[in-house]
Amino acid sequence: MRPTWAEIDLAAVAHNVGVFKGIVGESDLCAVVKAGAYGHGAVEVGRVAVEAGATWLGVALVDEAAELRSCGIDVPVLVLSEPRPSEMAGLAELAGVRPTVYSGAGIDAFASVAPAGSPVHLKLDTGMNRVGADPSVAVRLAKRIRGASLTLEGLFTHFASADQPGDEFTGDQIAALEQALEDLSAAGLAPPVVHMANTGATLTRTDSHRSMVRVGIGLYGVEPSTALRDRCGELGLRQAVRLRSEVAHLHGVETGEGVSYGRRWMADRRTRLATLPIGYADGLTRAWWEHGAVLIGGRRRPIRGVVTMDQTVVEVDDGVAVGDEAVILGGQGDDFLTVGEMADATGTIGYEVLATIGSRVPRRY
């Protein structure tokens, strides 16, 4: 068995769901489990999230919804972007899975294969400028949905910068969706489910909670931005992933010797090094070596030389032995390495750190 794996703390996921349920009160909570639950395992996380109080699950792909259904998860599932017309038949066979729609072609494609009255959610683009319909055509599309014998169950949008507290554009997006909802209400087409809050807005904009919120990265105990790091800590969110490996090899280098490709790190003294069987094929960014460290024996051990595809080299002392545990993310002794810390060190965001933990890294629950 490979001595590198990710330990997923499902109790931490359940705890985090409880924290968010406490924040949103009567609003439904949609647990976003797309991309394999941000690398944690969609089926395992989905089950625990539902047991802890989530009433919906959100995915990006029809295939992701099918995986949940095949494993017996039967709560409502929302596919967060409009599937291609050719995918609508497969979606219609999945009981309780709702498609997002925002085009006439998408509405017609689903209506042609779904039973009369099947629910859909209409997504409006209020400023993210990625996918969704312009709010000005909300009524027209809602009438098309009704005319196609479908049910407009939900209306939603996605925020561009809600993870930045005080950002004024979030208020503009809320106002745009509210205006569309007023227009739909005036036409007798208002849907029962309205949702716009992601993790950031759930934490900072109670006026965006509405009938449902969609929480993704917060479920995994990771802050959506550095600006919300302290807030997540205050709430007691718990990081669910612990990425670990072990010392596979020990050797020494002399003064003036280089380590790894390009010899980017040069020893300025005789140095003892440990090689770990984990690399960028497992999700460790190559550039992490410049500021990164791992925990061995409860102490931070700096990376020496660029991270390679399968291996990473760290500086150690004589107290380290082959087989010793090395923690890349998570706690050991009195120290803890967070996803946010790795993101900071590599110039990225926590989402990417989680999503790039490779599929060849076994998950243990």
Check 34, 38, 102, 123 and give the catalytic one: 34
Give, in degrees to the nearest 5, the angle at Cα 227 between 330 and 211. Answer: 95
Give, in degrees to the nearest 5, the angle at Cα 205 between 52 and 338. Answer: 60
Indicate the residue type of 319. Answer: G
Residue 15 has, within 13 A of its CA and on its CB side, a CA count of: 14
Look at residues 75, 2, 76, 6 and name the one whose alpha carbon lies nearest to residue 36.
6
Count of helices and strands (H, E) across the chain: 12, 20
Q: How far apart are CA 148 and CA 140, in angstroms?
A: 12
Indicate the residue type of 102. Answer: Y
Q: How far apart are CA 306 and CA 242, in angstroms?
A: 22
Check 123, 143, 261, 280 and give the catalytic one: 261
Task: Count the Cβ atoms, other than its own, within 10 Å of residue 239.
Answer: 23
Give, in degrees to the nearest 5, the angle at Cα 163 between 289 and 50. Answer: 95
Look at residues 221, 217, 218 and name the one whose alpha carbon lies nearest to residue 329.
221
Contact 218, 224 (CB under 8 A): yes
Look at residues 250, 78, 69 and name the one whose alpha carbon lies nearest to residue 155.
78
Structure tokens at 246: 């072990």
Structure tokens at 359: 């599929």
Q: What is the sign of the dihedral through the CA atoms of 310, 283, 344 and 236?
A: negative
Active site residue 21: no
Which residues are part of the catalytic machinery?
Answer: 34, 261
